[in-house]
Structure 1
Amino acid sequence: MKVTKEQSAANRQALVDAAAKLYRERGIAGVGLSEISREAGFTHGGFYGRFASKEELAAEACDVAFQASMSRLSAQLAKHGGDLGPFLKRYFSAAHRDAPGAGCPMAALGVDAAREGGLLAASMGEGIAAYVRELATHRPDGSVVDDPTPQDEARAIGLLTTMVGGLILARACADEAPALSDRILRTSLASSTGT
């Protein structure tokens, strides 16, 4: 039976969504194409003909993860009048730490992008740049600027490195040193919000 263009696009998107979740949970090297196909509800052959390579799939999965993350950030900023505090509370939560498959692509895939290079690194670079821009345009006083200054960008980069680094460290010790993991989350949040 012939698959419609719409169904083919939906099937492809299901594979990308499954890859975005699994790659953030276990890393690029930790997930095979058969697992991604199974998670999306297909056989292993479902991958072939839809993607030129695993690298292409990884880059698209990274793009999807960034789109979801940026949507959450933008929604929180809009809901709270530009106040980043509620977003940061969620970012530095135990729930976010414990669910990498639905969380920050930078914390989950940053090292993979550095190792893999190519399309995945390009996708990561674009996503990081978008995050820096969004954070730079929203100043701590609640004002929003169209043209951020170098100081705005430096502040955004500092905040982003605290966010990603804090989350990575909290995840790294969550099982063996849960109290330390919780302290890292609390300290990173306090550092990010200036409280």
Structure 2
Amino acid sequence: MGRVSQAQAQENRRRVVDTASRLFREQGTRVSVADLMKAAGLTHGAFYKQFASKEALVDEVTAHAIDEWVRCHAARFEQYGGRRDAAQRDLIDAYLAPEHRDNAAEGCPVAALVTDIAREPEGGEARRTYARGVADFAAYLAPGGEGGEGGEGGEGGEGGLVRLCTLVGALILSRATEGSPLSDEILAAARAALAETA
């Protein structure tokens, strides 16, 4: 069997990271390496040619998912011509929609990875990356420019943090109660509470 070209190796790595990003958000980081590689269409042995360990993959996937989420905010901000309040309202509506609740694999990594990241080692790369993503998200949500535009180490101010906690908490609770009327009620209650802060 011939050696894999450098370009093919990079494509394989990208495929593993993309697949893991979806699976980790949907099922958590407990997904086995064998199942991950099968979903990516690659052999189990190929994993260790790309990553030193599963922990290294968790670090990279966390950074990938958070960066993707930050780019999504930036695109939404541009879509509304820099009108922060309109971009925020659109994000809140999309975030608290049943479609987002039902599609964890493509949704917010802050909510989807919260319990897994809490189990990662203190001071580890995944935790640092996640904390940066939380700060950026809170800054984006800050009312009236309270926390600036985000960025590394950005602070969301109290208003941004309250909005963030409301969004993430509501999404997690609505997923945990999915299948009961309470799930939709949680989303509606959070939407109404955030409308009052707009």
> Which bracket does the TM-score occupy, shorter chain normalised?
0.7 to 0.9
CA distance, structure 1, for counterparts of residue 118 and residue 149 of structure 2: 30
Question: How far off is 1:69 after superposition?
Answer: 1.6
For the Cα contact (< 8 Å) 1:20–1:64, is it kept in 2?
yes
Task: Give the root-mean-square deviation of aligned CA atoms.
Answer: 2.4
Matches within 5 A, 1:68-147: 68-80=68-80, 81-82=83-84, 83=86, 84-117=88-121, 118-136=124-142, 139-140=143-144, 145=148
Shift in Å, 1:160: 0.6
Aligned to 2:43: 43
Residue 25 and residue 189 in structure 1: after superposition, are their counterparts in 2 closer, same or farther (change >3 A)? same
Question: Are 1:55 and 1:119, in contact at CA under 8 Å, matched by a contact in 2?
Answer: no
Which structure 2 segments of 5+ residues have no match? none
Q: Which residue of 2 aligns with 1:67?
A: 67
CA change 1:2–1:130 in 2 (3 A) is: same
Partners in 2 of 1:144 and 1:105 — Cα distance? 21
- Taking CA–CA contacts closer than 8 Å with sequence separation of 6 or more, which of the two structures ends up with the larger relative contact order? 1
Map of 1:167 onto structure 2:
171
Unmatched runs of 5 consecutive residues or more in structure 1: none
Q: How many residues align?
A: 188
Supply the distance in 1 between the matched residues of 2:95 and 2:7 (Cα, whole angstroms): 35
Q: Give secondary structure in 2 for the equivalent of 1:48.
A: helix
73-82 vs 93-102, which moves further: 73-82
Distance 1:72 1:162 in 2: 20
**Identical-pair percentage:** 34
Instruction: Give 1:60 shift.
Output: 1.1
Partner of 2:27: 26
Moved over 6 A (4+): none
Question: What TM-score do you get using the length of structure 2 for normalisation?
Answer: 0.86
